[in-house]
Copies of this chain bind each other. A is one copy, B any other.
Amino acid sequence: MNKIINDPKNYVREMMEGICLAHPDQVKMLDDDFRVLVRSEPAPDKVGIVTAGGSGHLPLFLGYVGEGMLDGCAVGDVFASPSAEKMTKMIKACDTGKGVLLLFGNYGGDKMNFAMAREEAEFEDIEIAELHGADDVASAALDKKETRRGVAGIVYAYKIAGAAADAGYDLHQVEAVTARALDQIRTMGVALTPCIVPTVGKPTFTIEEGKMEIGMGIHGEAGIDVSDILSADEVADLTFQRINEELKLQKGDHVSIMVNGLGATPLDEQYIVYRRLALTAEEMGLKVILPHIGEYATSMEMSGLSVSVIKLDEELENLLKAPARTPFYTNANM
């Protein structure tokens, strides 16, 4: 197993300790529990924004806890949901009396556990709203949109929800604007090599050498096609076309584009793909705001990338542009 780790059983705890040792001014464990990351200085008097998810996707999910984005993240084992108990604890810690938005990826385990946690929190009179990232167009057809998986596009939703909460929106306003954002985000990815869950020690799925999985999920879920490896321009065109079938972008529209490396794909390749997307956007007369190129949602050492597009209205654009600072995401807005 080509990994630089200690005992695989300690993988998540040691990763969390490393992050808290590196960024003590920004994040900390809640009550020394490595399953819940919160801001070092809780943000007072605003709607709380929390998430949760399995490990193995850094910077997702916990990397977005910080100023202008999330207040807390419950952290599971690699590719596994954290427990309802940890979620409950987090929700309580992140409520300042203005309620809490649960914003997380559309996965069975996370939904089930958050349902229990929500019940607990509401029993203690914490007002809750709940939204799911379900941006992966390859995971289900449009008429089964609500079953789609959440992938890298949720980062845009974190950013917008966090900025809205900071701007003093109440829970229902935060929920409404974040729902509108989620509705305008689409993602599609390709993968070239698998990854290894540390406690398993070998790939839990395989990709044939020289082949590309089109639309594979970030845990290796089946995609829509297997092909020979496509060129960067072909990947850009394929993903953008599929995304645009639904967003139906028009001349003059404002968008942000994310090219997200899945772990082992060099930045060079991500920028070569972005190049084509930017040229396409230019040809179509779109205005690209704050492109995001880099690793935002990975599958450890998986090779491949995803393309996300969010269609912006004026309010969404302003919220996207607001300053943010987390250990893995900085918008200095200078």
Contacts and interface: CB of A to CB of B under 8 A. Distances in A.
A203 interface: no
Contact of A278 (B21, B55, B190, B300): B21
Contacts of A263: 264, 266
Identical chains in the assembly: 2
Interface stretch (A115-123, A130-138, A226-234, A309-317): A226-234
Given A6-B272, A19-B271, A14 B303 contact: no
Contacts of A21: 274-275, 278-279
A54 to B, nearest CB: 12
A261 B310 CA distance: 29
Interface string A264-277: 11111111111100
Contacts of A2: 192-193, 209-210, 229, 303
| Residue in A14, A22, A274 with the greatest tally of chain B CB atoms within 10 Å | A22
Nearest to A263: B266
A4 B192 contact: yes
Nearest to A269: B4
Contacts of A266: 56, 58, 263, 298, 300-301
B264 A5 contact: no
A300 B271 CA distance: 13
Contact of A4 (B58, B190, B278): B190
Interface in A1-31: 1-6, 11, 14-15, 17-19, 21-22
A235 interface: yes
A139 to B, nearest CB: 21
B301 A303 contact: yes
A190 B4 CA distance: 10
A200 interface: no
A59 B274 CA distance: 16
A213 interface: no
A73 B265 CA distance: 23
Interface string A209-234: 11000000000000000000111110
A233 B6 CA distance: 7
A272 B4 contact: yes
| Residue in A1, A67, A209, A330 with the greatest tally of chain B CB atoms within 10 Å | A330
Given A6-B272, A18-B274, A264-B303, 9 more contacts: A5-B272, A14-B272, A18-B275, A22-B271, A22-B278, A22-B293, A58-B271, A266-B300, A267-B328
Leading 5 A-B pairs by shortest Cβ distance? A18-B271, A18-B275, A264-B264, A332-B332, A21-B278
13 contacts: A3-B229, A3-B269, A4-B232, A4-B305, A6-B231, A11-B272, A14-B232, A15-B268, A22-B278, A63-B267, A264-B264, A264-B303, A266-B300
Interface of A: 1-6, 11, 14-15, 17-19, 21-22, 55-56, 58-59, 63, 67, 190, 192-193, 209-210, 229-233, 235, 263-275, 278-279, 291, 293, 295, 298, 300-301, 303-305, 323, 325, 328, 330, 332, 334
